[in-house]
């Protein structure tokens, strides 16, 4: 049956209108429709370290609240007046076998939140033993978001570890006794390790496709980044000193919405990436989460002086101190080799009980170098007691009356 002419004309007009609207929709870039998918315009820039960073361009009137994850507003903190007693908590990840009694003994003035990763019956425990310390750090923030201390330090359970800088003898307790809480409040985020290796200045390359045994997580970083930070372009480099121990101010933690931490933890709970790999991945994500920077490699002299009160006077003076340390290590190695040969090949002089001229000469050199180290360290600590010296070495403003 033929349709009336008027009906045919009406249907043809409708069909044409549908085609016109469809073509117009297909020709419009996806990023120009934030009201559909919640995204704004992306622009990518590169900083001096070579890492790409993505920022949102809202010049077209797009509301940053339309973004999937609006970037935090990281504002430097203001230290309290001299004499103010900061509230401070150690957040510690441990297993049932690990002993953390040293914390109460060595640091009685610190509050403690010790989570037991593999004991669901412990007073503090994560929802799942996965991701090493990552799950515990995120769980603490999720659970305590509304009752945080001024400063929270996130650490492993062992008191002595190689990744606690040599100036503390590897001792976490000594590190925390010297930690400048004013710097933590001012910076918001501070890696407790000052030494660059491993981690700085350009350690992880998320675009890598060839596996490196020393950093097995590298080839998984791009995938994890896309899932965790879908609004942000993948950086060329991710770097900070190892090894997932850092201090945060309350304001810095709260600059990120509570729901975001829940999202990070849900990702950790749900990902098919292994416990080992997820823990290693996050070791080089924390600095981005809390600073918005892919590379956070603070000069060692600044970290040691402003962070811990070891003020050597500058980079050149610090390199001289490092050279002294290297000299002592070399001499001690020579001494150990000489003693081995003396004990095993009868090179020792039987008349003096095995102490030859070479032995005495080496020992004198070691003692002399060690005295120089002690003298240099004492001078650095004395210099670090003056807040003006700490400010000058850190390259930040200072005025009379500042106690930080």
Mean pLDDT of all residues in 60-79: 69
Across the chain, mean pLDDT equals 83
pLDDT tens per residue across span 195-204 = 998 999 998 9
User: Do residues 323 and 288 share a domain?
Assistant: no
User: Do residues 293 and 163 share a domain?
Assistant: yes
| Domain-located, residue 220 | yes
Nearest-angstrom CA–CA distance, 132 and 313: 38
| Domain-located, residue 36 | no
Nearest-angstrom CA–CA distance, 199 and 206: 14
Instruction: With residue 53 as reference, give the H or E element that holds it.
Output: strand 52-57
Q: Phi and psi of 112, rounded to 5°?
A: -130, 135
Query: Predicted confidence band at 18 (pLDDT cuts at 50, 70, 90)?
Result: low
Q: Beta strand pairing status for 52-57 and 41-46?
A: antiparallel
Query: Predicted confidence band at 359 (pLDDT cuts at 50, 70, 90)?
Result: low
User: Do residues 257 and 324 share a domain?
Assistant: no
| Domain-located, residue 390 | yes
Rg (CA), the chain: 28
Comparison of pLDDT for 208 and 22, the residue scoring more: 208
Asked if residue 290 lies in contact with residue 248, where contact means CB atoms within 8 angstroms, the answer is: yes
Nearest-angstrom CA–CA distance, 154 and 156: 7
List the structure tokens of 162.
Answer: 């190689």
User: Do residues 277 and 339 share a domain?
Assistant: no
What is the 3 state secondary structure string of 114-167? EEECCCCCCCCCCCCCCCCHHHHHHHHHHHHCCCCCCEEEEEECCCECCCCCHH
| Domain-located, residue 284 | yes
User: Do residues 268 and 336 share a domain?
Assistant: no
User: Do residues 242 and 119 share a domain?
Assistant: yes
User: Do residues 323 and 245 share a domain?
Assistant: no
Q: Which of 96, 95, 322, 98 is nearest to 194 (CA)?
A: 322
Comparison of pLDDT for 90 and 401, the residue scoring more: 90
Distant-in-sequence, close-in-space partners of 358: CB < 8 Å, separation ≥ 6:
338
Lay out the sheet containing 88-94: strands in order across: 111-116, 88-94, 151-156, 246-249, 189-191
| Domain-located, residue 141 | yes
Q: What is the pLDDT of residue 40?
A: 31
Nearest-angstrom CA–CA distance, 246 and 242: 10
User: Do residues 226 and 274 share a domain?
Assistant: yes
pLDDT higher than threshold 60 for residue 47? no
List the structure tokens of 308.
Answer: 């811990």
pLDDT tens per residue across span 282-334 = 999 999 999 999 999 999 999 999 999 999 999 999 999 999 989 888 887 77
Asked if residue 371 lies in contact with residue 344, where contact means CB atoms within 8 angstroms, the answer is: no
How many domains is the chain built from? 2
Nearest-angstrom CA–CA distance, 240 and 223: 20
The helix/strand/coil state of 371 is helix
Comparison of pLDDT for 28 and 338, the residue scoring more: 338
Comparison of pLDDT for 214 and 116, the residue scoring more: 116
User: Do residues 197 and 232 share a domain?
Assistant: yes
| Domain-located, residue 47 | no
Least confident of 19-28, 79-88, 265-274: 19-28
| Domain-located, residue 4 | no
Q: What is the pLDDT of residue 44?
A: 35
- Structural domain including 370 reads 315-343+356-394
User: Do residues 98 and 218 share a domain?
Assistant: yes
User: Do residues 122 and 265 share a domain?
Assistant: yes
Mean pLDDT of all residues in 352-371: 72
pLDDT tens per residue across span 166-195 = 999 999 999 999 999 999 999 999 999 999
Mean pLDDT of all residues in 66-95: 88
Q: What is the pLDDT of residue 45?
A: 35
Query: Predicted confidence band at 113 (pLDDT cuts at 50, 70, 90)?
Result: very high
Q: What is the pLDDT of residue 26?
A: 39
Mean pLDDT of all residues in 225-254: 96
Nearest-angstrom CA–CA distance, 85 and 150: 10
- The pTM for the full model equals 0.79
List the structure tokens of 301.
Answer: 């002299």
User: Do residues 255 and 368 share a domain?
Assistant: no
Q: What is the pLDDT of residue 55?
A: 34
């Amino acid at each position: 049956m033929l349709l009336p002419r008027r009906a045919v004309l009406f249907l043809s007009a409708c069909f044409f209108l549908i085609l016109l609207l469809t073509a117009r929709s297909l020709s419009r870039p996806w990023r120009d429709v934030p009201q559909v998918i919640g995204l704004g315009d992306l622009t990518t820039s590169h900083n001096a370290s070579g890492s790409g960073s993505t920022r949102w361009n809202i010049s077209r009137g797009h509301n940053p609240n339309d973004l999937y994850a609006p970037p935090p507003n990281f504002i430097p903190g203001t230290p309290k007046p001299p004499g103010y007693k900061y509230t401070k908590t150690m957040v510690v990840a441990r297993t049932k076998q690990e002993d953390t009694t040293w914390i109460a003994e060595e640091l009685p003035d610190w509050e403690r939140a010790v989570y037991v990763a593999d004991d669901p019956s412990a007073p503090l425990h994560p929802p799942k033993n996965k991701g090493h310390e990552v799950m515990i750090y995120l769980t603490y923030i999720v659970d305590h978001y509304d009752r945080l201390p001024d400063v929270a330090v996130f650490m492993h359970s062992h008191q002595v570890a190689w990744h606690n800088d040599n100036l503390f003898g590897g001792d976490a307790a000594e590190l925390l006794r010297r930690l400048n809480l004013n710097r933590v409040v001012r910076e918001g985020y501070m890696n407790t390790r000052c030494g660059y290796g491993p981690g700085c200045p350009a350690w992880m390359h998320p675009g890598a496709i060839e596996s490196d045994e020393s950093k097995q997580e590298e080839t998984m970083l791009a995938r994890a980044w896309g899932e965790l930070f879908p609004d942000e372009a993948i950086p060329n480099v991710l770097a900070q000193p190892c090894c997932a121990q850092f201090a945060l101010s309350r304001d810095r933690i709260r600059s990120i919405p509570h729901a975001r931490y829940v999202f990070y933890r849900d990702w950790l709970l749900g990902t098919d990436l292994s416990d080992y790999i997820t823990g290693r991945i996050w070791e080089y994500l924390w600095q981005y989460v809390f600073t918005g920077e892919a590379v956070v490699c603070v000069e060692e002299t600044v970290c040691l002086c402003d962070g811990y009160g070891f003020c050597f006077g500058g980079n050149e003076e610090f390199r001289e101190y490092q050279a002294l340390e290297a000299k002592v290590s070399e001499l001690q190695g020579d001494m150990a080799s000489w003693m081995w040969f003396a004990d095993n090949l009868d090179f020792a002089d039987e008349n003096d009980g095995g102490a030859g001229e070479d032995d005495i000469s080496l020992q004198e050199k070691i003692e002399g170098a060690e005295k120089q180290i002690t003298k240099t360290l004492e001078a650095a600590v004395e210099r670090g007691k003056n807040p003006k010296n700490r400010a000058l070495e850190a390259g930040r403003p200072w005025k009379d009356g500042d106690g930080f």
